[in-house]
């Protein structure tokens, strides 16, 4: 018998002064059996950083042809493809061809740096791809916030991100590995 996903609930309040975007989201997060708390919380961070009223979690690890999150237009076109981890070149090219914007959040410390060394030149040719690295210490701190029921506030200002619950605050500065010109 296959293991089932574990359901997490998050009340997420986002105040993004850089975009500006302000919103509250009641999220249901299905944590895949092969997913750890760190990856799940990076998904939640990605949602907060790119939040909109139409951004949704996908089937993720259960569906290899979908990203972790996406935003679709009313016609069903993919406006924003959000991927976690270290996608290979073919997956990144496919995403760039299918979506108006692609954002990758990589987060595995030393292996992410090695991935980027091999991917930098290839990804640089894709005009609509942004790639961030979440520092390892921030990933650990986010994982410590994981609970089956969470109430989190995320504040983004001057490229600094603060994630807090009732007892803890996590400060994050994403490393920008690639950003489209203009």
122 vs 24: CA distance, rounded Å: 37
Nearest to 81 by CA among 61, 104, 52, 59: 104
| Residue keyed to tokens 């916030």 | 145
Mean pLDDT of 2-8: 83
Secondary structure letter of residue 87 according to DSSP: -
For residue 152, the cross-strand partners are 12
Three-state SS for 94?
Answer: helix
The pLDDT value recorded for residue 2 is 62
* CATH entry 3.40.980.10 includes domain 7-178: no
The pLDDT value recorded for residue 34 is 87
| Residue keyed to tokens 């920008």 | 176
Buried-state track 100-122, b at ≥16 Cβ within 10 A, e below 16: ebbbbbbbbeeebeebbeebeee
62 vs 164: CA distance, rounded Å: 29
Asked if the model's pLDDT at residue 62 lies above 80, the reply is no
**What size, in residues, is the chain?**
182
Of residues 62 and 23, more confidence is placed in 23
The pLDDT value recorded for residue 82 is 98
The pLDDT value recorded for residue 33 is 86
| Residue keyed to tokens 């942004």 | 130
- pLDDT-based confidence at 4, cuts 50/70/90? confident
The pLDDT value recorded for residue 20 is 94
Give the pLDDT confidence of 104-126 residue by residue, as tens digits.
Answer: 999 988 899 999 999 999 998 99
The pLDDT value recorded for residue 180 is 87
Give the pLDDT confidence of 9-45 residue by residue, as tens digits.
Answer: 999 999 999 999 999 999 999 998 888 999 999 999 9
């Amino acid at each position: 018998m296959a293991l089932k996903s574990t359901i997490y609930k998050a009340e997420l309040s986002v105040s993004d002064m850089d975009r500006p975007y302000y919103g509250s989201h009641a999220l249901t997060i299905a944590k895949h059996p092969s997913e750890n708390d760190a990856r799940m919380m990076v998904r939640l961070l990605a949602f907060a950083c790119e939040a909109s009223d139409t951004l949704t979690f996908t089937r993720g690890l259960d569906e290899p042809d979908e990203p972790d999150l996406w935003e679709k237009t009313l016609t069903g076109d993919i406006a924003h493809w959000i991927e976690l981890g270290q996608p290979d070149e073919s997956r990144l090219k496919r995403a760039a061809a299918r979506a108006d914007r692609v954002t990758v959040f990589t987060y595995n410390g030393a292996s992410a740096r090695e991935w980027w060394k091999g991917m930098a030149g290839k990804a640089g040719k894709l005009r609509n791809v942004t790639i961030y690295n979440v520092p390892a210490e921030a990933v650990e701190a986010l994982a410590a916030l994981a609970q089956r029921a969470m109430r989190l506030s995320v504040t983004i200002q001057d490229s600094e991100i603060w994630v807090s619950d009732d007892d803890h605050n996590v400060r994050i500065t994403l490393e920008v590995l690639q950003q489209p010109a203009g």
